[in-house]
A = this chain, B = another copy of it.
Amino acid sequence: MNFSELARHLGVSATTVSRVLGGKAEAYRISEETVARVRAAAARLEAAPDPLGAGLRRGTLGMIGLLVPDVTNPFFSSLARAIELELRRRGLAVQLSDSAEDPTTEEELLAAMLGRRLDGMILAPVGRVSPRLEALLRGSPMPLVVVDRVLPHLGIPSVCLDNAAAGRLAVAHLIQSGHRRIGCLRGNRDSHPDQERFRGIREAMGEAGLGPEALLVAGTGYSREEGLAGAEALLNRASPPTAVVSLSGQGIFGLLQTVERRGLAIPQDLSVVAFDEQPWSAFMHPPLTTVVQPIEEMGRRAVEMLCETEASREGGAGSAGGGEREAVVRLRGKLESRESVRTA
């Protein structure tokens, strides 16, 4: 049942129905009686506004797009959940797409979403930003915020972990526990998080008076296989590290596999700090000491930023364009100390 039909039934105009059901009865000072009649009839006949009609008229659909590299990754599924929840609170729906960690697919999907008439987009980029992706992003006709990674120099609002600080956190803990030879299992070195985490680690080592030779580096990507290869390289060193921090959430699988293959025990033979909570992290033998990201907050902030962007667009549309500041929110990670680090 649509508004015009309902209006005819009641002998009022569609406008009135729209005002009542759109919550504008007060503003237009519709009589209480009319309001009641419309409400009752609407309830009885299950009349609800058609979002398409309203959307077309308003130029907005109440839907924002969310593009992630892999919903199957616990980090992104938690993020998606947090984002959906917060958007729902604000009456917005989410269209989800998954780029399967593939930059080309990502470009296509982003272009498609940018084309649909969404009210905004939240993007968790796959990795390095291709020129084509950058062009898409620059030309974006809608509010956009980037999560998890910051795309330097693009001036797009972003929210991500303070990766450098998180890296420091991890090694500081290791150093404090007496470790002096530390392995770092890196992820995708093109990615901002990996670079930042690594930077934080190097700085923390330096501040503790440990030279570069004390930091053993391996790993070339975020996958399990790459984690395994990197771990092998680390443990094959003439004098292997006594502790390893894995910058990759999935790569830790590879490390664990290698450790097991060699019959090593954690933390007796090797201490481990992992990045990113996994569903089983707390239930391993032993439970894994982990740098956890404040995912809920990340989602909340992303939505906030998106809505602010939207608001400022409407509000300050014609104002002098000088104030466009690059907003990057960096969230603090937390070290969940469990049992995979041995105090030397």
**Which B residues touch A85, using CB under 8 A?**
98, 100
| Pairwise interchain contact A52-B95, C-beta atoms closer than 8 A | no
A48 at interface by CB-CB < 8 Å: yes
**Nearest-Cβ distance from residue A85 to partner chain B, whole angstroms:** 7
**Which B residues touch A84, using CB under 8 A?**
71, 96-98
**Nearest-Cβ distance from residue A22 to partner chain B, whole angstroms:** 14
Bound CA–CA A280/B253 (angstroms): 8
**Which B residues touch A78, using CB under 8 A?**
72
Question: Copies per complex?
Answer: 2
Bound CA–CA A95/B256 (angstroms): 37
**Which B residues touch A100, using CB under 8 A?**
81, 85
Question: Closest B-chain residue to A254, C-beta based?
Answer: B283
Q: List 28 A-B contacts (CB under 8 A).
A: A51-B116, A51-B117, A52-B52, A52-B55, A56-B56, A63-B95, A66-B96, A70-B81, A71-B80, A71-B84, A72-B74, A72-B77, A72-B78, A74-B74, A80-B96, A80-B98, A81-B100, A85-B100, A93-B95, A93-B97, A94-B96, A95-B95, A96-B96, A253-B279, A260-B285, A278-B279, A278-B280, A285-B285
Task: Please tell me which one of the listed residues B63, B66, B279, B283 contacts residue A279 in the complex, with CB atoms under 8 A apart.
Answer: B279
**Nearest-Cβ distance from residue A313 to partner chain B, whole angstroms:** 19
12 new A-B contacts, CB < 8 A, other than A51-B116, A256-B283, are A52-B52, A52-B61, A70-B81, A71-B84, A74-B279, A80-B98, A81-B98, A84-B96, A88-B97, A93-B95, A95-B96, A285-B285
**Which B residues touch A115, using CB under 8 A?**
48
